Amino acid sequence: MFVKDIMTREVKTVRPDTKLIEVASLMCLYRYSGLPVVEDGKLVGVVSEKDVLNRLFPSLGEMTDGVASLDLDRLMGQYKEVLGLKVRDVMTMNPLTVSPDIHVLRAATTMNRHKFRRIPVAEGDTLVGMLSMGDVHKGIFHANIADRLP
């Protein structure tokens, strides 16, 4: 079974100049954990919930200086400022991708090694789909179990 057999082909994408409020809205409304960033038809990055929220996390210095004095509510309040940023300000550039022509277990191993729940599927720098661990699990389930159910 190959990635192209189970990947999601209809993928919601955003552009580098998209405001994070739009991205956060998509993430919260549609439960996207990340979105590919495309410009001029080419995959240029990925923006994830972690990328958005990373701006709120205390620095290592703040954590070691004393958690008791750390104002976490103040940091959380900076979320509105973060939403004013653009995707290009927080995205992961040049993301790792997989080819549609590789075996799903090879793709899943890559995802597991990098602790990804999803990965862009690309031919060169052109996005052709997304693959999630859920897609892999569902594909393997159908290949092995679904046809044997009563």
The domain limits of the chain are 3-148
Q: What is the pLDDT of residue 146?
A: 63
HSE, side-chain direction, 13 A CA sphere, residue 115: 2
95 vs 78: which has the higher pLDDT? 95
Say how far apart CA 130 and CA 114 lie, in whole Å. 16
Q: How confident is the model at residue 8 (pLDDT cuts 50, 70, 90)?
A: very high
Q: What is the pTM of this model?
A: 0.83
Check: CB of residue 93 under 8 Å from CB of residue 87. Answer: no
Full DSSP string of 47-77: EEHHHHHGGGSPPHHHHHT-GGG--HHHHHH
Q: How confident is the model at residue 53 (pLDDT cuts 50, 70, 90)?
A: confident
What mean pLDDT do residues 65-84 have? 68
Please state which architecture CATH assigns to domain 3-148.
Answer: Roll (3.10)
- Which pairs count as long-range contacts for 140-148, CB under 8 Å and 24+ apart, including other chains? 140/1, 140/104, 143/1
Q: How confident is the model at residue 67 (pLDDT cuts 50, 70, 90)?
A: low
Say how far apart CA 51 and CA 37 lie, in whole Å. 13
Which of 40, 43, 33 minimizes the C-alpha distance to 93? 43
**13 pLDDT above the threshold of 90:** yes
Say how far apart CA 38 and CA 100 lie, in whole Å. 18
What average pLDDT is seen over the chain? Answer: 88
